[in-house]
Amino acid sequence: MKVRGLFALTALSFALFSAPSMANECPSVLKFMKRKLNSQETVNLCDEYAGKTLLIVNTASYCGFTPQFEGLETLYSDYKDKDFVVLGFPSHDFNQEDNDEGKTAELCELTYGVKFPMFEPTSVKGDDADPMYRMLKAATGKAPSWNFNKYLIDSTGTKITHYPSSTKPTDAAFIADVEALLYE
């Protein structure tokens, strides 16, 4: 009986003393504040998304891949209860995004029913690339070469995989990769 009590006390002490340090852990790729699309509200990515499996996508309103919004929303809807989140970042880098954030938000919401988080327009390539996208490139060796490049990030932020624009969010192999991270 004494051993059990000592074990329980030791386990409780470990949990109490390690919880603050574990809560402070945040993958480098999430150590950013980002403004929501067509809003003044900012989001601390660590506070909102640390510990979740993420799909970060550079989007555009007037691209041949724009219909992927529908598949991205379906993916988000299907797996959000399993701590999976799609994060969309409109980009003007390929000259296929509207300069008016209101129009971008309208297209996402009204045309494609997007409910996953969308953020401020972001540069994703070259010398002007946002620091988050520089980190994604450094981790994978791949910068977005076009709209709708995808970065799948495990819940610890240590495993980051790049997928090109041609990978549809409905592709069976892609969904299998998402599920592998969610169920490991």
Nearest to 133 by CA among 21, 56, 55: 56
Amino acid letter for position 33: M
E strands, the chain, are 33-35, 42-44, 53-59, 84-90, 150-153, 160-163
Task: Decide if 124 contacts 133 (C-beta within 8 A).
Answer: yes
Sign for the pseudo-dihedral over CA of 176, 177, 178, 183? positive
Question: Is 108 considered catalytic here?
Answer: no
Find all residues with CB under 8 Å of 44, minimum gap 6, and list them.
33
Residue positions annotated with a catalytic role:
63
